Each structure stands twice: as C-alpha cells, then as structure tokens.
Amino acid sequence: MTAQVSSPATQSMDATQNEVLAEVRNHIGHLTLNRPAGLNALTLDMVRNLQRQLDAWAIDENVHAVVLRGAGEKAFCAGGDIRSLYDSFKSGGTLHQDFFVEEYALDLAIHHYRKPILALMDGFVLGGGMGLVQGADLRVVTEKSRLAMPEVGIGYFPDVGGSYFLPRIPGELGIYLGVSGVQIRAADALYCGLADWYLESVKLELLDEKLDQLDWQDSPLKDLQGVLAQLAVQQLSDAPLATLRPAIDHFFALPDVPSMVEQLREVTVADSHEWALATADLLESRSPLAMGVTLEMLRRGRHLSLEDCFALELHLDRQWFERGDLIEGVRALLIDKDKTPRWNPPTLQALDAEHIASFFTGFDQSES
C-alpha cells in the first residue's frame, strides 16, 4: 500500500517492494514506475498504488502538479504485465478481469485529473504505458522514445483508451498505428499529436533541477509550460509519417484489412511501394481477428465519448480471453517462444465479417 505523501522528500513504502515510488518536492508529486528489469510493465498492485497516490494528491493543497516517469534507461512503461494475466487465466483465476477494470479506471482518472500531469516518455512507451500518458497535460518525448500500440502482434487489440486517441489522430494515421502495431519515434509522436514536447534525454536531469527551483507564479500548467519552453521544442523536422501520409490515408481508409493488404501489394501511392510491401508483410504476420476487431473498434471510437470508448474496450475484454487470439499469441511469443502462433482464423482471407461484428453485440452506446 502506498503511503499518502504530502510532505517534501517523503517516499512511499509498500508491499510490492517500491514498484511505484512517490515523492513530493517543491509542490510537485513525483511518481516513478519502478520495475526497470521488467521495463516497468504494470501489475495490478502498481495500478492500485498509482490510483491511490493520485487520489491523495488531488485533494492535497500542497501538491500543485504531478510528474510521471519510469525508472531505468530503457522504458517509461512497456505495457501491462501480460504474463501474469495469462497465468491467472490458465489457472482459472480472475486477475485479468480485475486488472482491466482498474487499469482503465486509472487511465480515465488521468484524463480528468484536476491538476496538471507531466509525463516523461523516455524509452519504450507501449500499450498500457500509452494509456498512462495520453491523458496527461504535458507529454515529453526524447530521442530514446519508442511509442506503439503493438497489441495486434500478440493477438489483442489497442485498449487503454486507444479506441479514443488513435482515431483522433489526423487522417488515417491512428488506424495505421493501431492495425499494424508499429513503433514510432519522437518526430512522428509530435506529428501525430501523441506528444507535446521534445527534450534530449540528457536534459531530463536539468528539467528536474528547474522543477525543484520553480517559483510558482501563474497557474500550475502555465508555470510548467514555461519551464519546458526553456529546454524543449514542440516540433521536429523530417517526421517519416508526414512523408507517408498520402499512402497511409489511402490504404487505411479501405473498408477492411484484406482490402488493405491486397492494395498495399498492388497499388503504388506517392513513391511508397517499398513501405507498402513491408507493411503488407507485417499485417500478414499479425492476428487476423485482432486486426479486424481493431479496425471496427477504432472506426466506432471516432464517434464515441472517452467514457464510451473505455466501456467499449471493456466490453471486448470480457470476451477476448475466451474468444480472441491473446492466449495463443502470448503462448507463441512469450511462453513457448516458437513465434508461430496459430491464429483463429489463420488467414485474412478466412476472416468473417459476422464473426468480427459478434464481438460488438450487446454494446450499448450511451447516446443511442
């Protein structure tokens, strides 16, 4: 259990061996994901500790803002601890059910948090890590940042609010990121609106020093923006996705994933043929069912509120461990590591539109 921190330089002590560190300095609550050996992947205990600490700081007048970061050199957060969910499901447990309910509640709370949150997205920011940062007010990437919603690679779909923030990226870029699961770097993250500031990783220590010395003058958000403006930039040149945008907008607006793969192989748009062939190969390695459900989910999410997007993802979650490809994907890629998942269906050609639609049966949109 995380201690409720309201005094300077006080650190939490909890039963999960400090997997979430909490400290207040100069009216800023610093939260650190502290599982560097596991790339700071989230456990249910970590989710609960984060929620508990954020709840405490929300009503603590001594805390003006929150900084969220990951320990170690490699990752902010590489997602959820999927192995523990797999093990629980295989043994008849309910951890997977509890985890997603509480993880989504945490992510939603971050979107609505009453004080500004500054997320330092150094290293890998994958899946559940994206869920933590996309609701933050100030999202900082570095040259080491690697952002992705890679779930389709293990037979899952981009959740943690992905049905909300991905389809709101301009054009079809978010559809591309969700259906393919590709990683992007800092320039593309800024171009897509998935980050706000770029800062060299060597300057993160200097940022901390400036935050420690910040003389609070205006609103907390404006004060934090003033600090970032001294050190960081909001645009980078040469974003690869800007060049690929015409092709992505063409191919990923097609009605279904089989059509996308077919045209990626046969049609050249804006000198992108090499990329198109590589993308077709990538899509054919992913779970056909996961991609099909992802495409439908993202297109629905374009027209849903944030709360309804989380409700839709939870609706899919409750079916996915039984009916989806996740258990097989985890087996093939993380457990047995044979890297030959037996997807069901095995090919895009065998993907049935009615099967995809069945996952959405019973979901009641709040505005309908």
Q: Which residues are catalytic?
A: 80, 128, 151, 159
d(CA 291, CA 171): 18
Give yes or no for a contact between 279 and 240, defined as CB atoms under 8 angstroms apart: no
**Which tokens is 271 given?**
């000198």
- Verify that 69 and 214 share a domain, yes or no: yes
Residue 185 lies in a domain: no
pLDDT in tens, 101-140: 999 999 999 999 999 999 999 999 999 999 999 999 999 9
pLDDT > 90? residue 42: yes
Q: Where are the beta strands (DSSP E) in 127-246?
A: 138-141, 146-148, 197-198
Summarize the confidence of residues 59-82 as an average pLDDT: 97
- Verify that 97 and 216 share a domain, yes or no: yes
- Verify that 202 and 279 share a domain, yes or no: no
pLDDT > 60? residue 345: yes
- Verify that 280 and 141 share a domain, yes or no: no
Residue 66 lies in a domain: yes
Q: How many CB atoms lie within 10 A of CB 307?
A: 14
Summarize the confidence of residues 189-199 as an average pLDDT: 98
Judged by phi (left if over 0) then psi (alpha if -120 to 50, else beta), residue 160 lies in left
pLDDT > 50? residue 303: yes
What's the pLDDT score for residue 177?
98
What's the pLDDT score for residue 76?
98
Element of type H or E holding 290: helix 288-301
What's the pLDDT score for residue 17?
63
What's the pLDDT score for residue 368?
42
pLDDT cut 90: percent of the chain above it: 92
Domain that holds residue 261: 240-358
- Between 270 and 362, residue with greater pLDDT: 362
The count of domains in the chain is 2
pLDDT > 60? residue 292: yes
CATH code for the domain of 139: 3.90.226.10
Residue 345 lies in a domain: yes
What integer best gives the mean pLDDT of the chain? 93
Q: Measure Cα distances from 267 to 45, 207, 295 in Å.
A: 49, 47, 21
Summarize the confidence of residues 225-230 as an average pLDDT: 98
The model's confidence at residue 68, banded by pLDDT at 50, 70 and 90, is very high
- Verify that 144 and 124 share a domain, yes or no: yes
What's the pLDDT score for residue 328?
96
- Verify that 213 and 340 share a domain, yes or no: no
- Verify that 66 and 204 share a domain, yes or no: yes
Q: Are strands 20-25 and 28-33 parallel, antiparallel or unpaired?
A: antiparallel
Residue 57 lies in a domain: yes
**Which tokens is 228 given?**
């970032």
The model's confidence at residue 270, banded by pLDDT at 50, 70 and 90, is confident
Residue 5 lies in a domain: no
Q: Where are the beta strands (DSSP E) in 92-237?
A: 117-121, 124-126, 138-141, 146-148, 197-198
- Verify that 45 and 136 share a domain, yes or no: yes
**95: exposed, middle or buried (Cβ count in 10 Å: 0-12, 13-18, 19+):** middle
- Verify that 226 and 84 share a domain, yes or no: yes
Domain boundary among 179, 209, 231: 231
Give yes or no for a contact between 259 and 274, defined as CB atoms under 8 angstroms apart: no
Residue 156 lies in a domain: no
Domain boundary among 212, 231, 250: 231
The model's confidence at residue 364, banded by pLDDT at 50, 70 and 90, is low
pLDDT > 70? residue 327: yes
Give yes or no for a contact between 164 and 109, defined as CB atoms under 8 angstroms apart: no
Handedness of CA 324, 327, 330, 332 (dihedral sign): negative
d(CA 277, CA 265): 6
Q: Measure Cα distances from 337 to 106, 284, 301 in Å.
A: 31, 19, 33
What's the pLDDT score for residue 71?
98
pLDDT > 70? residue 12: no
pLDDT > 90? residue 252: yes
Domain boundary among 207, 231, 255: 231
- Verify that 224 and 257 share a domain, yes or no: no
- Verify that 28 and 87 share a domain, yes or no: yes
Residue 4 lies in a domain: no
pLDDT > 50? residue 15: no
pLDDT > 60? residue 7: no
- Verify that 106 and 26 share a domain, yes or no: yes
pLDDT in tens, 133-172: 999 999 999 999 999 999 999 999 999 999 999 999 999 9
Residue 254 lies in a domain: yes
What's the pLDDT score for residue 10?
35
